[in-house]
Chains A and B, each alone.
Chain A
Amino acid sequence: MSRTNVRKVRRLIQGNEAVVEGALAAGCRFFAGYPITPASEIAELFAERMPQVGGVFIQMEDEIASLGAVLGASLAGAKAMTATSGPGFSLMQENLGFGCIAEIPCVIVNVMRAGPSTGLPTSPAQGDVLQARWGTHGDHPIIVLAASSVWDCFTLTVEAFNLSEKYRVPVILLSDAIVAHTRETIELPDPGTLKIVDRVKPTMPPEWYIPYQDNPTGVPPMAAFGDGYRYHVTGLIHDVRGFPTQRVDEITSFMSRLFRKITQGFQEIFITSGFMLEDAEYAVIAYGSVARAAKRAIREARDRGIKAGLLQLITLFPFPKRTVQGVLSKSKGVLVPEMNLGQISREVKRVNECMTKVYKLNRIDGQGIKPQEILAAILQMWEELK
């Protein structure tokens, strides 16, 4: 997917602030949330900014309620989001599944901190990666993105809304305490220059509207409550009219459409970025703040004559299998550093199919992974395989 490059207004802001700027630029006009470190600044900023732009901010009684309100707001026609961290993200899982089955666009930002449970509230981690993919029960499609910088927080929030509106699916944007609290100068693009996607609305007369009817995109037009298209929304598996069904043929066609609409969009949904990857013999696959540390390590490895390169995953799920396999197939070795015990490295290993050797570098002590650690791991890999 092409990512917007036009940059204007320079500002020194935090990752969390950039999320808010990105959301407002994307047209988000509803935020519901519950305070939690390290995500609270997002709610605080929305409390200030939403009323100024004619939107609504509400502080709910918990994260279950926050996502419930977001889903309701989206059904009423608003672009809506919430932001939280691990403990709150756990509470959101049931309503997240509702968003998937009822195909309600929304964005959930999870500023990851070290867990499980209350864990290390102010320390960064990447422990919620698989929860983001599989946290809610039942087989379900979902999109998970990971931000590595303040600039990413801005553009990926826009991207998250765009994908969510286009595919009618909840999109989870993962950041972490490092990304969220780092201040960097970014140039905010002119609002008019951004690519903004809005959900497709029905144009036919209401009596012709069949709310969940399949079409070539697999994404039915979505009417907002109050627009004259009265229809039923439910978390039960439903037929094309939205009514509960237990008919095997209707269940099958519904479930397969839910997945098909995402698989059809793979080209656009998979976002990755390469750094010194063209001639790389030793690759690092990383995401989030770790990807930035990896860049520095790769430059230093290059200084020592090692052909190292980085594949940064921006879309974590659906897992960009083809791109990762491309890197695996031409590398002597691949290192996957992450602030968990190997949640993405197990995906990498799954698609590796014995093409190359996959190394891990993990930390779960609330500390970011430093460039020197990655460099040391690259050197070790190189020693072993050269």
Chain B
Amino acid sequence: MKKPITKLIHEYLRHDKKFPHVWCPGCGNGIVLGGLIRAIDAVGLSKDQVVLVSGIGCSGRMSVYVDFNTLHTTHGRALTFATGIKLVKPELTVVVVMGDGDALSIGGNHLIHAARRNVDINAIIVNNQIYGMTGGQFSSTTPYGAYATTSPYGNIEHAFPISELAVVAGASFVARATVYHAQLLEGMIEAALKKRGFSLVEVISTCPVQYGRRNKLADPVAMMTYLKENSVKKEKADTMDPKEIKDKFVIGILADVEKPVYMEDYLQVKEKSKS
């Protein structure tokens, strides 16, 4: 049985933190936070057992509101801090929340290496396709042609497909959802939390203020509709012509594989070193 939202808020949001939060009306960050909390509750993790590490950006502020062990790191480096925590206390569940600029631009190197190493970390990338916090500059996931404060004539760079990158980098579990597909999102985060090894959930999110306003999607509802209309379930996408899904968000589970997990192998290293 799912708990009512008021109960979840009471249980998982900090009581001593001064609200209101920093996010704009219409921002997708709250939906991601809701999905994360419901997933943690569904898995039945204790609050002491969860570490929420975040990077720098609007999405990075998520860590301050929740009643876990929380760490708001430097821009792009959240996964490196998380790696240190997980290796010292493997019994903790380490969740890392990052923005697209955080995880892919400045922190791209750490992302591919965390996936490659397959440290048991649960990464959530809130992909709003823009640098929200600094005022709407294009990021490495801003679509080709889109407008941003640093691409006033349209973006001439190409977007990283985050999830596909994580798959080839070696993550154990990779899934994509959008903030429109909130239930799917919650389910994906739950599956990621349960999975051994590096997991990544990419959430296509809305930033009506910094992205929408410059790209004919200023109305939060319009952004949601856009996400709804441009998403294709993985199962369906597999049957479609690649040309048809070129500019679509393929949602669902993109990878779910069993492979050696860093810390489990390191335990064997410890054994070997003693003999």
| Chain A interface main SS type | mixed
The closest CB in chain B to the CB of A224 belongs to B89
Mark the stretch among A1-9, A175-183, A236-244 that contacts chain B. Answer: A236-244
B77 in the interface (beta carbon within 8 A)? yes
Cβ contact within 8 Å between B16 and A76:
no
How distant is A96 from chain B, measured CB to nearest CB, in Å?
10
Cβ contact within 8 Å between B64 and A231:
no
Cβ contact within 8 Å between A235 and B72:
yes
Cβ contact within 8 Å between B88 and A78:
yes
Question: CB-CB contacts of A64-94 with B at 8 A, as 1s and 0s?
Answer: 1111111111111110100000000000001
* Given A54-B270, A76-B89, also A225-B69 (CB < 8 A): yes
CB < 8 Å neighbour of A62 from B16, B73, B91, B109: B109
The closest CB in chain B to the CB of A76 belongs to B88
* Given A58-B87, A64-B77, also A226-B18 (CB < 8 A): no
Cβ contact within 8 Å between A226 and B74:
no
* Given A52-B273, A75-B81, also A244-B87 (CB < 8 A): no
CB < 8 Å neighbour of B49 from A30, A58, A226: A226
CB < 8 Å neighbour of B81 from A54, A58, A69: A69
For A64, the chain B residues whose CB sits under 8 A away are: 77, 80, 110
Cβ contact within 8 Å between B69 and A32:
no
* Given A69-B80, A226-B51, also A77-B18 (CB < 8 A): no
The distance in angstroms between the C-alpha atoms of A328 and B13, with both chains bound, is 59
CB proximity to B under 8 Å, residues A258-289: none
The closest CB in chain A to the CB of B76 belongs to A64
- How many chain B residues touch A (Cβ–Cβ < 8 Å)? 42
For B85, the chain A residues whose CB sits under 8 A away are: 72-73, 75-76, 225
CB proximity to A under 8 Å, residues B217-252: none
The distance in angstroms between the C-alpha atoms of A54 and B74, with both chains bound, is 29
For A251, the chain B residues whose CB sits under 8 A away are: none
The distance in angstroms between the C-alpha atoms of A75 and B17, with both chains bound, is 21
A249 in the interface (beta carbon within 8 A)? no
How distant is B155 from chain A, measured CB to nearest CB, in Å?
27
The distance in angstroms between the C-alpha atoms of A73 and B71, with both chains bound, is 12
